[in-house]
Structures are given as C-alpha cells and as structure tokens.
Amino acid sequence: MSETEDNAWLVNAESVESIQAVVCDLNGILRGKRVPVGQAKKILEGGIRMPLSIVGVDIWGEDIVGSSHVFASGDMDGICSPTGRGALPVNWTLKPSAVVPLWLFKETGEPFLADPRQALAHIVRQYHELGLRPVVASEMEFYLIDSEPDHAEPPISPYTGKRLDSDAILSIDELDDFGQFFSDVYAECERQNVPADSAVAENGIGQFEINLMHTDDPLKAADDALFFKRIIKGVARKHGFAATFMAKPYGMRSGSGMHVHFSLVDEAGNNVFDDGTAEGSDIMRHAVAGLTRGMAESTLLFAPHFNSYRRLRPDTHAPTSVTWGYENRTAAIRIPGGKPSSRRIEHRVAGADANPYLVMAGILGAALVGIRNKWEPPTPVAGRAYQTKAPRIPSEWGSAVTAFENGAIVSEIFDQELRSMLIACKRQEIAGFSEQVTDFEFSAYLEIV
C-alpha cells in the first residue's frame, strides 16, 4: 500500500484499538506514546511532540546524568513528524494495533541531526548532490530461544517436541520445524512492506538468517531492518518462544551479525562500482579506503553494547582486523564475486544488536569521505585475515568509545550533538555494567582469594 492508503486504513480502522507513535533512539530502541486510535489524524499530521533528549537515553531508558539536553536546557520538546513510511499494522498483539514511525525536528523546522534516522538522511542527501544513489540491502541473523529461563537456552521444536541440541547450518529440517513461525513472519513482513527474502538456518543452535532485499532508498533499508527485528520478536512471542538479536547470546557459539551490502548508481541507473572487471572501479576502491580508514573510529556504531565485543573474536566468522578482500569472509570488507554489473561492497562488522540507521550512516558516510578524497585502500587480503598484521578493530567497549570520540572521519559524518549524546550514553552504560558482579565472578573468587 502507498502511504496515503496506509494512513486512510488507520483513520478508518475499526479493529485497531491503539496506535504507538514512535521514534528510534540511538540504541535502536523504539520509544514513544500509546495513543487512542481516534487521535490518528493528529499523529499523521505531525501533531505529536516528544523531548529531543528521548533519543539519547541509555539502554535501560534512563536519562543521562548531567546531560545538557535534559535539565540544563529545560528538556525541550521536538516536533515528531511521520517518516513517510505510513502506518504499520501489528497483528501479533492480543488486540490489533498500529505503529506510526516518526522522526524529530527542531522547533525551527530543521532536522534534529541527533535523531539517528535524520543522521542517515543527512548522508543520503550528500550522495544525491553528487548525482549518486546508494543501493542497500542487509542480512539479519537472530536466535530463537526458550522464553522461560533467564538465560539463553535453545527452544523446543514445535514439530518434534524436543529441545534443539546441535548446530544445523543450512538445515532444511530445522526450517520445517519452525515453519509456522516463518509463515507468520513473512505474512507480517508483507503487511509492513518489509521485503523479506530467503531464510536459512545458521551456524548456531536455533540461529537463523533472513535477507532483506535491496533498495535504492537507504532510509527504507534501515526502516526495514528496524521493523524486521520487531516483527521477529513479536511473532516469536506469539508462538511461545523468544527471539534475540544479541550479538553473542551464547559464549561458545556463533554470534549474530547484520551484514550490509551496498553499491552506488548514477542518475542513469548505472552501477558506478562496475568497470567491467572483477576488481571493480576506482570509485569502489575509494569507498573501500574510506571504510577501512574509518573503521576503528566507527566500531562503536557497529558494536554498541557490552555484549557486542564477545562476537568480535578470531575464527568466529566475525572480523577482527581492518581488512578487505575479494570473496573473503574473514575480512571486514568483502567484495562478492559474480557479474561485474552486480559489483558491490559487503560490510561485515556490525552485529545484529546495532542500530540500523547508525550502521548505514557510518558505512555510507565513511565511503563518501573516501570517494571525495580519492583515497586508495590497502592491499586486499587473501586467505585468513585473522593472521594478518593489519590494524585491529577495537576489541573492547571503552576503547571503541574513545576512538569514536576522537575520530576525524566520524566528525565529518555525524553532527556534534549526536556524537556527544552517544558518547555520554555509552559511558553511562559502561559505568552501569562495571558496578555489577556476575554469578560467575562471585563463584570464581568467593572462597579462593
């Protein structure tokens, strides 16, 4: 449906009980208001206001202590306007509801560039000024888990009644076991205009991947990824288990990534990464150079949480070095093979736990800096990238925050307000985790030291 048709559906809906008017915060969490369906027109006409600081709260939903965006400024409101996505029907809840995605503007009407969706839009506009359109797609990995325990535990197969107990990469039987779940996921994706493509069983117990099809609208691609995650979690609850996009829910099993593929097309629709060869064009290599130079300082966007850094370990199919290569899945940047007309870049660093808007803004932004400066990338790596002497991707949360704070490339990509809000948010979260003593830590040291 078009946005107008979606909106008309919402205004005239009789079965919908409530509307969730939402914005996306820096952690990729939807925050907003539940509004009676009778107020649909008000929401769709931009009549909702929320504090600008809402995008910068921490993972627990707490205000950032000492933030200039809260008490020092009076915690001012922003204008919440519909993103253009339209109203999205939600059918996995007890009573049908709807979500209306919004993004933030200042009172002056200017985009609030600390809103992650606005940050991505800012980068996309710069590509358009150069006569280029990014074509973007993502691959989303997740785990289905038992909803009862407080820790990750594999789910019970609805088909066999037995708990999953082994890895089953590319298993058709495992897809069949959860066939009704996947049928409902695809149905909800169609209702919300999320272009879900093929599904596969991945390398972990109860781990799956669904690809989202490419689009030449990066904002839609990020929207798709965000609402796909919500669909997966909602449908999983409907079926009696849970789903998680944690980067590493099991310490000894595969992590979950969000791989982003992109190319650039010109105004005639030509792929500018294609020069007729397997190596790709100069502009593709300039983009790769921007991505490699900006990778360390951008890592916080790709691995934003404490758990994220459990995934970035050698020999785990997750990258650990600032490398790129042709058809090499051990490198951070992979250039897939195939026809030259399909030449594209695959960015493999981000975990499934990352904010899709910030991931895509960071990737497209760094590539743009490389293109503008006509940088040349390092030598592509062949073979096992884990053994190279290339610079390392930050492997610890605090160092990633510091690299982001000091980064020259990310300062070109993102507004200072977004950077300061994200840094403050992450430092507050780091402090929160540092104050917790885990059960494992307690048992290890209690009577030993």
**In this structure, what CATH number is given to the domain that contains residue 332?**
3.30.590.10
Least confident of 38-47, 159-168, 382-391, 413-422: 159-168
pLDDT at 177: 83
Residues 305, 187 share a domain: yes
pLDDT at 68: 73
| Residue 211 located in a structural domain | yes
| Residue 422 located in a structural domain | no
Residues 188, 63 share a domain: no
List the beta bridge partners of residue 163.
156
Amino acid (one-letter) located at 152: A
| Residue 427 located in a structural domain | no
Residue where one domain finishes, among candidates 62, 91, 112 = 112
pLDDT at 15: 77
Residues 85, 210 share a domain: no
| Residue 360 located in a structural domain | yes
Q: Summarize the confidence of residues 396-424 as an average pLDDT.
A: 97
pLDDT at 1 over 50: no
Render pLDDT for 94-139 as a digit per residue (tens, 0 to 9).
888 899 999 999 999 999 999 999 999 999 999 999 999 999 999 9
CATH at 52: 3.10.20.70
pLDDT at 86: 86
pLDDT at 352 over 80: yes
Residues 158, 292 share a domain: yes
> In terms of pLDDT, which residue wins out, 85 or 5?
85
pLDDT at 419: 97
Q: Summarize the confidence of residues 396-425 as an average pLDDT.
A: 97
Residue where one domain finishes, among candidates 112, 144, 178 = 112
87/5 Cα distance (integer angstroms): 9
Residues 397, 313 share a domain: yes
Residues 161, 103 share a domain: no
C-beta of residue 80 within 8 angstroms of C-beta of residue 86: no
| Residue 425 located in a structural domain | no
Residues 168, 28 share a domain: no
Domain that holds residue 57: 3-112
Residue where one domain finishes, among candidates 89, 112, 135 = 112
Percent of the chain clearing pLDDT 70 (strictly above): 94
Label residue 170 by pLDDT band (50, 70, 90): low
Q: Summarize the confidence of residues 428-432 as an average pLDDT.
A: 97
pLDDT at 435 over 80: yes
Q: Compute how many other C-beta atoms are within 10 angstroms of the C-beta atom of residue 336.
A: 14
Q: Summarize the confidence of residues 302-319 as an average pLDDT.
A: 92
Residues 160, 281 share a domain: yes
Q: Summarize the confidence of residues 258-281 as an average pLDDT.
A: 96
Residues 283, 178 share a domain: yes
> In terms of pLDDT, which residue wins out, 27 or 36?
27
| Residue 117 located in a structural domain | no
pLDDT at 295 over 70: yes
Q: Summarize the confidence of residues 389-418 as an average pLDDT.
A: 96
Q: Say how many domains are in the chain.
A: 2
Amino acid (one-letter) located at 449: V
Burial class (CB in 10 A: 0-12, 13-18, 19+), 432: middle
Coil, helix or strand for 285? Answer: helix
pLDDT at 184 over 60: yes
pLDDT at 448: 87
Q: Summarize the confidence of residues 202-226 as an average pLDDT.
A: 93
Least confident of 34-43, 301-310, 327-336, 423-432: 34-43
pLDDT at 8 over 80: no
Residues 99, 181 share a domain: no
pLDDT at 258: 97
List the beta bridge partners of residue 446.
none
350/63 Cα distance (integer angstroms): 26
357/340 Cα distance (integer angstroms): 28
pLDDT at 366: 98
| Tokens linked to 144 | 């289905």
> In terms of pLDDT, which residue wins out, 213 or 204?
213
Q: Compute how many other C-beta atoms are within 10 angstroms of the C-beta atom of residue 207.
A: 27
Write the DSSP symbol of residue 306: G
C-beta of residue 214 within 8 angstroms of C-beta of residue 346: no
What pTM was computed for the model? 0.94
Residues 102, 195 share a domain: no
Nearest to 429 by CA among 337, 309, 325, 347: 309
pLDDT at 396: 96
| Residue 433 located in a structural domain | no
| Residue 430 located in a structural domain | no
Residues 134, 74 share a domain: no
Nearest to 199 by CA among 153, 231, 246, 152: 231
Q: Summarize the confidence of residues 142-168 as an average pLDDT.
A: 81
* Cβ neighbours of residue 323 closer than 8 Å, sequence gap 6 or more: 292, 330, 331, 332, 333, 378, 380, 381, 385, 388, 390
Q: Summarize the confidence of residues 8-34 as an average pLDDT.
A: 84
Phi, psi of 319 (to 5 degrees): -75, 150
User: Which of the given ranges, 38-52, 59-73, 145-159, 423-437, has the highest pLDDT on average?
Assistant: 423-437
C-beta of residue 355 within 8 angstroms of C-beta of residue 27: yes
Q: What is the mean pLDDT of the chain?
A: 91
pLDDT at 35 over 70: yes
pLDDT at 139: 96
- Dihedral sign computed on CA atoms, order 31, 36, 37, 43: negative
pLDDT at 363 over 50: yes
pLDDT at 254 over 80: yes
